[in-house]
Amino acid sequence: MAQPNTLHWHDSSVEVHKLVVGPYDNNVFVVRCHQTGDAVLIDAANEHEKLLELCSALGVKRVLETHGHHDHIQAVPAMREAGFEVAVTALDAPMLAEVGYDVFLDHDDVVEVGRLRLRAIHNPGHTPGSISFHVEGTPLLFTGDTLFPGGPGATKFPGGSFETIISSIDDLLFPFPDSTIVLPGHGTDTTIGVERPHLQEWVDRGW
């Protein structure tokens, strides 16, 4: 099958494919091991036909959910029906009660994708169980709705906490090197180096 025209970033070990789907312009990412062809999909947000086509073309075996909000899980039932395992944190699993899930993810879990290792980082604040993924040995950091260009994700929804998300970003994401590429759940990429200097501004404005 021909490679889809979705390549977003790559080096000798990893490919990242990106698709923007649904009414909220959700970013869906596929992380693929260049050496083995194994792949994982991050956030089965919407437009399941497109996602299933992408998964088939790229060798995706399972789905990782960054959190349980409605706009990030619309394609989960179709993915599970097609045989893909869906993973989410136990804290956000109740939000997937209607669409279903298969396994739990926890802080510091390592998801092996071919020869790649994706380390899970529990980043509460946007939701209690929000989780980010760092591809070890690369500059790639998938932050879901925790960190965006220009600040943290919204915390006004049930289970959200501004103080928690600020601590979560400062303690767990900002220790990464300046060159770390932040791939958020919506919008464009940024880097840790670009965002870190603005933390106090975000605290002062309160969102």
Q: What is the pTM of this model?
A: 0.98
Average pLDDT of the residues in 176-188 = 98
Q: Give burial (CB, 10 Å; 0-12/13-18/19+) of 64.
A: buried
Closest residue by Cα to residue 194 from 121, 156, 145, 141: 141
CB 118 within 8 A of CB 125: no
Give the Cα separation of 68 and 183 in Å (integer): 18
What's the start-to-end Cα distance of the chain, in Å? 45
pLDDT in tens, 68-95: 999 999 999 999 999 999 999 999 999 9
Give the Cα separation of 43 and 71 in Å (integer): 9
| Token pair belonging to 148 | 């965006």
Residue 28: which residues within 8 A CB-CB, separation 6 or more? 18, 19, 20, 21, 41, 42, 43, 44, 45, 51, 54
Q: Please state which of the four CATH numbers 3.60.15.10, 3.40.50.2300, 3.40.50.150, 3.40.50.10860 is assigned to the domain occupying 7-205.
A: 3.60.15.10
CB 68 within 8 A of CB 86: no
The rounded percent of the chain whose pLDDT value lies above 90 is 98
Residue 31 confidence (pLDDT): 98
